[in-house]
């Protein structure tokens, strides 16, 4: 049998054919495989295909065979990702607000390469990116990568920081002045990436939305603020900053009705100490950053929650409610 022009790539194309065209629901006979190889100008006989499939098995490809009637069928069993795992990753990409629509399509297309064409079609059927709220800052991926590099190499970073104005235009804060920050951690909260770092000028820990950074570069200067992060608890930091909005930290005692215990545990974790005060209510003491977002969270829970102390926080809550009443009571 004359050899085709791509014989040296036979094993490569055979592996691609098996991965792309077979799965637990779809298999190929040796004749099917032979025909597929001919598309790439590669010739093969049954004996050489037996040997080649065994070589692929030795290389780690899970090629399975079974008798069906008078024919023998081959397919790839276990792959790097199971279909359920790929669907989970697709859902995660779609629901991530910080990933742009363009990048979402690119990432999902790459995930399809880990599936057969039949499984890839199932992934495409669940792709619904259009209409979802997505960031418009394509540079976020490079920002995240640069921040990780800066943390790993113990260097400071500098960047410009922007906000949106009512014309839906990016508006640089501090007149475009560059921020210089010592990066110590990246965290995920409310569908956004945040950098947690040390601001030497303010001598305090601050956080910044990564998708609102521009012209981020790694500096030659070494990081500062190590003493602040020796016992820093990132999870606790995220819990007390509602919506990652900062504010003065206070230890607040709050009363809840028993039906809200699940909400409290979801917000503050199972380690929170719950103190029953009667058959229908309990209290907790929590450290929170006092902000409008915190009061909004309390307000959203309605009559089932009451701030007990300190009195200054309870009074500010009353002021927030009075302001809302004034706004809507006219």
Would you say 2 and 41 are in contact if contact means Cβ atoms under 8 Å apart?
A: no
Q: List Cα–Cα distances, 120 to 23, 114, 115, 318, in angstroms.
A: 11, 8, 6, 55
Q: Is 139 helix (H, G, I), strand (E, B) or coil?
A: coil
Per the DSSP assignment, residues forming a β-bridge with 289 are 249
Listing DSSP states for 212-243 in one string gives GEEEEEEEEEEP--HHHHTT--HHHHHHHSGG
Please tell me the predicted confidence (pLDDT) of residue 94: 78
DSSP category for residue 166: T
| Pick from 244, 246, 239: nearest CA to 291 | 246
Beta-carbon count within 10 A of 251 CB: 12
Using the Cα atoms of residue 14, residue 17, residue 20 and residue 22 in order, give the sign of their dihedral: negative
Per the DSSP assignment, residues forming a β-bridge with 136 are none
Which pTM does this prediction carry? 0.55
Please tell me the predicted confidence (pLDDT) of residue 217: 96
Q: Is 199 helix (H, G, I), strand (E, B) or coil?
A: strand
pLDDT tens digits in sequence order for the chain, 330 residues long: 556 566 778 888 898 899 888 988 899 999 999 999 998 888 888 888 988 898 888 888 889 999 998 889 999 988 878 888 888 888 878 777 777 778 888 888 888 888 888 888 877 765 555 455 566 666 788 888 899 999 999 999 999 998 877 676 778 988 999 999 999 988 877 667 889 999 999 888 888 988 889 999 999 999 999 988 887 777 777 666 665 566 788 899 999 999 899 888 878 877 889 999 999 999 999 888 888 888 888 988 989 999 999 999 999 999 988 888 888 875
H-only helix segments in the chain = 10-21, 30-39, 46-58, 83-95, 101-112, 117-125, 140-153, 226-229, 234-240, 261-268, 292-300, 311-328
Task: Specify the long-range contacts of residues 150-153, CB closer than 8 Å, at least 24 apart.
Answer: 150/183, 150/218, 150/223, 151/183, 151/184, 151/185, 151/186, 153/218
Strand 204-209 and strand 192-199: pairing?
antiparallel
CA 209 to centroid of chain Cα atoms: 14
Would you say 274 and 284 are in contact if contact means Cβ atoms under 8 Å apart?
A: yes
Would you say 77 and 60 are in contact if contact means Cβ atoms under 8 Å apart?
A: no
Locate 185 and state its tokens. 């951690």
Contacts for 170 with CB less than 8 Å, ≥ 6 apart: 162, 163, 164, 214
Locate 212 and state its tokens. 């609102």
Whole-angstrom distance, CA of residue 232 vs CA of residue 230: 6
* Backbone torsion region of residue 288, taken as left when φ is above 0, otherwise alpha when ψ lies between -120 and 50, otherwise beta: beta
């Amino acid at each position: 049998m004359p050899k085709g022009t791509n014989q040296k790539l036979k094993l490569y194309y055979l592996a691609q054919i098996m991965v792309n065209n077979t799965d637990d629901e779809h298999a190929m006979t040796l004749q099917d495989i032979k025909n597929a190889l001919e598309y790439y100008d590669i010739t093969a006989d049954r004996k050489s295909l037996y040997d080649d499939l065994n070589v692929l098995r030795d290389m780690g490809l899970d090629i399975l065979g079974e008798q069906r009637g008078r024919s023998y069928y081959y397919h790839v069993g276990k792959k790097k990702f199971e279909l359920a795992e790929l669907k989970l990753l697709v859902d995660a990409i779609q629901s991530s607000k910080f990933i742009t629509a363009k990048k979402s399509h690119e990432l999902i297309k790459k995930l399809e390469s880990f599936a057969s064409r039949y499984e890839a079609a199932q992934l495409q059927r669940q792709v619904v990116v259009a209409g979802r709220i997505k960031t418009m800052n394509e540079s976020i991926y490079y920002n995240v990568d640069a921040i990780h590099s800066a943390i790993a190499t113990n260097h400071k970073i500098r960047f410009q920081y922007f906000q949106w104005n009512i014309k839906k235009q990016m508006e640089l804060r501090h007149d475009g002045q560059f921020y210089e920050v010592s990066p110590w951690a990246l965290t995920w909260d409310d569908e956004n990436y945040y950098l947690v770092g040390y601001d030497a000028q303010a001598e305090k820990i601050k956080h910044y939305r990564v998708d609102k950074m521009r012209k981020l570069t790694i500096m030659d200067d070494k990081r500062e603020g190590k003493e602040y992060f020796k016992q820093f608890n990132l999870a606790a930091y995220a819990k007390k900053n509602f919506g990652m909005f900062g504010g003065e930290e206070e230890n607040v005692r709050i009363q809840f009705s028993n039906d809200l215990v699940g909400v409290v545990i979801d917000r503050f974790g199972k380690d929170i100490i719950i103190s029953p005060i009667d058959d229908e209510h309990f209290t907790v003491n929590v450290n929170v950053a006092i902000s409008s977002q915190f009061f909004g969270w309390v307000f959203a829970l309605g009559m089932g929650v009451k701030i007990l102390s300190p009195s200054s926080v309870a009074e500010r809550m009353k002021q927030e409610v009075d302001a809302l009443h004034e706004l809507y009571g006219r």
